[in-house]
Amino acid sequence: MNLANKSGTSRDIYDWDYVLWEVRLTLLAAGFFIYLGVFLLAHWLSSWISASYRTLPGKEKAFWNMHMTRGVFAVQSCGAGLWAWFIDPVFQADQVYSQQKWSYFHCLIAAGYFLLDNVLLHVSNILFGMFDVFSVVHHLFAFGAILVVITNIKSGHYLILTGLLLEISSPSTCLSHVLSKIGYENTHFWKANQWVLIRMCHCRMVLSYHMLWVCISNWNDVVENMGLPYFIIFFMGLSIFTFIINPHWTYETTKKFFCQVDGNSSNTAVKNESSETDQKKMI
C-alpha cells in the first residue's frame, strides 16, 4: 500500500518518510526514552506523594513503576487500536495490507516501549534473582512480533494495532497492584477494580482469538506480507499467548479476586485480617 496515503486523521506529527531507516530507528529510540522518562517520573512522583511507596523494598518499587509505565502506555496503544477498529476506514476494509502514517508512528513508538519493557524486566530479574517464565516469554514475543514493523516496510499494521489493544488490561492491573501495596487490598474499590480486570482479561482472550482467525483465514496473504521468518515468530508467540499465557493470567487474576496473592512480593499470601491501621495507611 502507498505510504503516502493520508486519512482525515493525519497530522504533521505523523508526516515522516518511514522508508528511511534513520526515521524508523529515531522513532524507536523516542519511544524507548519517552517511556523511560515515564518510569523515572513514576518513581519521583511516588516517592514524593506516597509514604507507602517509600517503605517498599527496591524490587517492589521497580514493579510499581513498571506497572505505572504500562498503564500510561495502555492509553496510547488502546487509543491507536480502537481508532483502527472503529474509525479509520482503511483498516476496516483491509486486515492484511493496510497501513497509515499515523499507524506507522504509533507502532514504532510502541516498539520502543516494548524494547524498554524487556530491558526493565530482564534487569529486574537479574538484580532481584527472579525469573517468571510467562512474563519473559510474553515480553520477548511481543517485541519480536512488533519488530516486523521496523524491518519490513510493506508489512500491514492491522494485526499489530489489534495486538496493542491487548494492553486494555494494564490500567486495571496497575491500579490493583498499587492498591495492594498501600493497604487497600480488602476494600470494595479493590474488588470492583479486580472485577473489571477479570473482564478485561476476557476481552484479551477474544482479541487474541480474533487475531488467530485473521491469520488463519488470510494465511497465504499474511505470510507473504510479513515474510516467513517474522510470521513464524508472530504466529508462534500469538499461539503461546492465546492458549497458554492468556488463560493462565486470566485464571490467576480470577483466583486473586477470591484470595489475594501478590505475585511480585516475597509474601505470597496477603492476610485477609489486615488491621484497620493498614487499611487507612497514608497513600
Is there a domain that residue 5 lies in? no
Is there a domain that residue 158 lies in? yes
Q: What is the mean pLDDT of residues 145-161?
A: 90
Domain that holds residue 60: 12-279
Domain count, the chain: 1
**Grid cell at residue 281:** 495507611
Is there a domain that residue 164 lies in? yes
At residue 131, the pLDDT reads: 76
Q: What is the mean pLDDT of residues 60-82?
A: 95
Q: What is the mean pLDDT of residues 234-261?
A: 87
pLDDT top residue among 268 and 144: 144
How far is residue 13's CA from residue 156's CA, in Å, rounded to a whole number? 20
**Grid cell at residue 135:** 512474563
pLDDT top residue among 186 and 108: 108
Is there a domain that residue 33 lies in? yes
Q: Assess contact for 207 and 162: CB atoms under 8 A.
A: yes
**Grid cell at residue 83:** 481508532
What values do phi and psi take at 109, rounded to 5?
A: -60, -40
Cβ neighbours of residue 275 closer than 8 Å, sequence gap 6 or more: none
Neighbours of 155 (CB within 10 A): 23
Is there a domain that residue 6 lies in? no
Give the pLDDT band (50/70/90) at residue 7.
very low
Q: Is the pLDDT at 33 greater than 70, yes or no?
A: yes
How far is residue 47's CA from residue 55's CA, in Å, rounded to a whole number? 9
* Mean pLDDT of all residues belonging to the chain: 86
Cβ neighbours of residue 133 closer than 8 Å, sequence gap 6 or more: none
At residue 11, the pLDDT reads: 57
Q: What is the mean pLDDT of residues 242-247?
A: 92
Is there a domain that residue 151 lies in? yes
Q: Assess contact for 112 and 28: CB atoms under 8 A.
A: yes
Chain segment 86-108, per-residue pLDDT in tens: 999 999 999 999 999 999 999 99
Place of cell 505523523: 14
Q: Is the pLDDT at 66 greater than 50, yes or no?
A: yes
Is there a domain that residue 7 lies in? no
Is there a domain that residue 4 lies in? no
